[in-house]
Structure 1
Amino acid sequence: MEKCSLQMKDIVKSYSGVTVLKGVSLNVRQGEIHALLGENGAGKTTLMNILGGVVPSDSGEIHLFGKPAKINSPADSQALGIAFIHQELNVVNDLKVYENMFLGRELYKKSGILDAKRMCEETAKVFKKMNVSIDPREVMRDLQTSYKQIVEIAKALLMDAKLIIMDEPTTSLTQKEIDNVFSIIRGLTKDHGVTVIFISHKLGEVVDICDSYTVLRNGENVASGSITQPDGSKIKQDDLARMMVGKDVLNQQVYEDHEIGEVVLEVKDMTVGDRVKGVSFTLREGEILGITGLLGDGKDELVRALFGDLPHTGTIIKNGKPLCVGHPSQAKKCGIGYLPPNRKENAIIKDLSVQDNINITVLEKCRCGIALSRKRERAVAQEYCEKLRIKTSNIMNKITSLSGGNQQKAVLSKWLNAKPDIMIMSNPTQGVDVGAKNEIYAEIMKLARQKIGIIVTSGEAQEIIKLCDRVLVMYHGELRGELRRDQLTEENIMILSTGGSLN
């Protein structure tokens, strides 16, 4: 009989009078990769936060490696051999990479001085094992988001953990980096008996790497089983999605025909340092323009420059008039909105409520005389919570009380609320479940029907294919090619994004 690494039994947890876990149980065998699935707000992250010592449960039992476990803090969890890689990056941007790796577990010389050399060496060993090249002495803020995620994963490997919780670990990684991480995970489970709990909305990854699954819906267990079926085939993504949402969602039609009008934005010879090199393009009213490419090929820097977040050269023309956009506030005044890719660092204001985050772009509309009208603020925030189905017990709760996907919908609400003429969205469904993705896609299509010009940047080819009227593909900071909707295939996108040409 296979040993059980983890047993969580009848776990109950409530926030502000709302029960988010209703007697949930989870059984994970030693040495397996176990998928924990569910919609945003289903209770996955809360359950893992209890296991990681981040929050206490109201009731229930936890057994680790056959023994009862009391976990009252993250330190307790780590001492028991549990490493938690959170969905939102948990790095200190002002510290160096090796300092993040050893934070709270620093190595010292006999003299009592920090042994920086040894910590750098140990950090380099882990990176070598992962087949990644990161300088241990580099400051975290200078790393791209994907490399920050890799540091988080490396930190868990450095701890020599017996049970690793991975909450959306591949969101910011390229396919090559994902393959490297998966190879490492499989090696840890196969050769060293490490157990992995894998939380992801990317069902293709779940089917590819996981051995078994548990599905939560509305804080309750709804299904569990093996990824490999009795006949030797693997479970279908459609079936997993149906368990998560309670209906068929993967096969829903996203794209709808809509009218495309005159040119609303023209960009000429846009250059951003050495990341974007002389890119030119146009955007029309009601058009959904995709910009894609491999990670680091300049798409994110391009749209940040359009929003005034990065210095640039080149010409930006909106509705026939030249724009000088040197700051995001200027872009907002010019009717340009921007949904950034890194929600935690660039989109939410963690100390403010859900209501305040939604209204932050339109406070002038919530005034009554010289003062803010709380009644108007509440009405606007409530409207968008209902429109995008943001799950919250109280809109005055902090934005951080929401699940990652509901936070993403709140950020989108902020810009829908501002009613821009041009909306830029970087990875609009990052960290969002399959059901909520369709809701966001529907909002994007609605914006297009309202003749708003939309730019979507994404590294997910299927997302680009589902949504866009036209796609620009970047390669090493340059525009490699343009694809009409009838040319949109994963193969064509990959050919251009790797420097090839279409015949």
Structure 2
Amino acid sequence: MTLEMRNIVKSFGANDVLKDISFSIAGGEICALLGENGAGKSTLMNILGGVLPADAGTILLDGKEVQFSTPAKSLDAGIAFIHQELNLVNDLAIYENMFIGREIKRKGGFLDAPAMIEKCREVFARMDVDIDPSLMVRDLDASYKQIVEIARALLMKASIIIMDEPTTSLTEPEIERVFDMMRTLQGQGVAMVFISHKLKEVLAVCTRYTVLRDGAMVAEGPVEGVTVDELATHMVGHQVRTESLRQERELGKEVLRAEGLSQERFHDVSFSLRAGEVLGFTGLLGDGRSELFQAVFGSGGKVRGQLYLEGEPVQVHSTQQALALGIGYVPRNRKENGIIKDMDILENGSIVTWPRNARLGVIDWGKVREGFQKQAQGLRIKMDSEKNPIGSLSGGNQQKVVLAKWLNADPKVLIFDNPTQGVDVGAKEDIYDTILALANQGVAVVVLSSEAQEIIRLCDKAVVLYHGRVQGELSGEDMTDQEIMRLATGGEMRERVESVG
């Protein structure tokens, strides 16, 4: 199948999101669609997927003009869309989610659950993923929810598959399995649009690239011969930093210390964090780092062991208590945990400071607005109006609003859980600058990330977890991709076994 989108135009009010964009892809191609958050990538694909109407322009499939007024009509034409934000129903089982709208039924109209479960098992077997299709989606973490999204797209048997940030929450082995499947589909003549901010992945799996900037196409061509730096420069319009961002700074007193923290997903974890320090935690899927710091923040249930804040023993039982103690947490799953969809941008970016800016239960919105505007300016949040819905912003700008919320609270300790997940290279550098500025101001910072390069570039030290236990602590020249991966896969444990033998 061959797709052509010609002279596509789309505006939201006075904001021209797409300016005369033309895009094409043919069967057997994997085309990267690149650009910063807000460049127009998702809007262009939402038009193709029947989610949004174009203001002008035409879409042709195999030379025939088509119009998609609904996602169902786009899917009927052979176009499957894996959206950036998870689109699953938490209160349904995995197999029910995968067959929504396409349920297998017995004679008489009754649902054939065993048949649907078996089909799910076949897809998961192809992906080499061990998941029980009968599990409820709410019991999965974000990584496995993304895997279910990808598996659902594979069931569609589409001729064109749009993948919007499909690998954001996946580990390296899982990403490679996805890439293997993409190459298999490519050999079968399937066309794939790959939207990603991970430019190394683009070079690894894509055949072509198209770059949008501020709603206009600025570059396109074959992936062969292009570099990560060149793609990044096309995206932001200037050269992007790739050097280490670690800075020599005088660290203050110990702010946070953990001794022997244990729970179901982590075991006997101890660490120390000083004022002005950026401490990284990394590992592979299931390493327990998110659960560990959710417990530190008072949202992860009862935990064994002892936590000390500025030398005093504390037991954090709630997020309200954590906030009162000066501990903040920027969650990784923005849609489910970071934003409140029914609130506007200002409300989302200030909610944790409402009690501080209220007298007799009445919020002083002047002070609230003043604090948010200061953070919005520093973070360079792109928005038309702070009263617009939070959903009107791109993913990267939503993440900045979540960050503004916590910066307004003046925390002593600020925990970032995958802070640049689904964020473009320009917004990523802004967030890095903010983290370093916080450290320079004496805030104790924790960065949880599955990206080794993010940890290496940003953090003063790195704690590597393996199956919920501290496998090693790295700093300086020892903090390399190879050493992090060796520890994250249990390397140190294997060495100890060999030495005993």
2:137 aligned partner: 140
2:201 aligned partner: 205
- AA partner of residue 428 (structure 1): P
Q: Does 1:399 align with 2:390?
A: yes
Q: 1-side partners of 2:84 and 2:287: how far apart?
A: 24
Q: 2-side partners of 1:112 and 1:6: how far apart?
A: 37
Change (3 A) 1:253 1:266: closer
User: 98-107 vs 14-23, which deviates more?
Assistant: 14-23
Q: 2-side partners of 1:474 and 1:222: how far apart?
A: 42
Q: Does 1:21 align with 2:18?
A: yes
Q: Does 1:433 align with 2:424?
A: yes
How many residue pairs align between the two structures? 493
Gaps of at least 5 residues in structure 1 are 229-233
Pairing partner for 2:175 from 171, 174, 178: 178
| CA shift for structure 1 position 252 | 5.0
Map 1:223-302; keep pairs closer than 5 Å. Answer: 223-228=219-224, 234-251=225-242, 253-273=244-264, 275-302=265-292
Pairing partner for 2:94 from 97, 104, 121: 97
1:196 aligned partner: 192
- AA partner of residue 31 (structure 1): G
| CA shift for structure 1 position 474 | 0.7
Pairing partner for 1:321 from 277, 289, 312: 312
Q: 2-side partners of 1:291 and 1:127: how far apart?
A: 29
2:40 aligned partner: 43
1:498 aligned partner: 489
| CA shift for structure 1 position 187 | 0.3
Q: 2-side partners of 1:81 and 1:446: how far apart?
A: 48
Tell whether the 8 Å contact from 1:404 to 1:432 is kept in structure 2 after alignment: yes
Q: 2-side partners of 1:378 and 1:218: how far apart?
A: 28
Q: 2-side partners of 1:356 and 1:364: how far apart?
A: 13
| CA shift for structure 1 position 444 | 0.4
| CA shift for structure 1 position 29 | 2.0
2:499 aligned partner: none
Map 1:109-188; keep pairs closer than 5 Å. Answer: 109-188=106-185
* Equivalent position SS for 2:383: coil
Q: 1-side partners of 2:22 and 2:240: how far apart?
A: 26
* Equivalent position SS for 2:355: helix
Q: 2-side partners of 1:85 and 1:51: how far apart?
A: 12
Tell whether the 8 Å contact from 1:381 to 1:395 is kept in structure 2 after alignment: no
| CA shift for structure 1 position 17 | 2.0
* Equivalent position SS for 2:210: strand
Pairing partner for 2:6 from 9, 34, 37: 9
Q: Does 1:83 align with 2:74?
A: no
Q: 1-side partners of 2:246 and 2:429: how far apart?
A: 10
Q: 2-side partners of 1:255 and 1:220: how far apart?
A: 35
Q: 2-side partners of 1:64 and 1:381: how far apart?
A: 46
Q: 2-side partners of 1:500 and 1:251: how far apart?
A: 28
Deviation sequence 1:131-185 (CA, Å, 0-9, x none): 2111111111112221111110111110111111100000000111101111001
Q: 2-side partners of 1:102 and 1:320: how far apart?
A: 53
Tell whether the 8 Å contact from 1:254 to 1:438 is kept in structure 2 after alignment: no
Q: 1-side partners of 2:39 and 2:166: how far apart?
A: 18
Change (3 A) 1:15 1:424: same
* Equivalent position SS for 2:408: helix
Deviation sequence 1:101-156 (CA, Å, 0-9, x none): 00111111102111111111111111112221111111111122211111101111
Q: 2-side partners of 1:77 and 1:378: how far apart?
A: 42
- AA partner of residue 115 (structure 1): D
Tell whether the 8 Å contact from 1:308 to 1:327 is kept in structure 2 after alignment: yes
User: 372-381 vs 331-340, which deviates more?
Assistant: 372-381
Tell whether the 8 Å contact from 1:272 to 1:310 is kept in structure 2 after alignment: no
- AA partner of residue 436 (structure 2): M
| CA shift for structure 1 position 300 | 1.1
Q: 1-side partners of 2:439 and 2:472: how far apart?
A: 23
Coordinate RMSD, CA, aligned: 1.4
- AA partner of residue 296 (structure 2): L
Q: 2-side partners of 1:414 and 1:16: how far apart?
A: 27
Map 1:319-398; keep pairs closer than 5 Å. Answer: 319-367=310-358, 370-398=361-389
| CA shift for structure 1 position 369 | 5.9
TM (norm. structure 1) is 0.96
| CA shift for structure 1 position 30 | 1.8
Tell whether the 8 Å contact from 2:27 to 2:159 is kept in structure 1 after alignment: no
TM (norm. structure 2) is 0.96
* Equivalent position SS for 2:349: helix
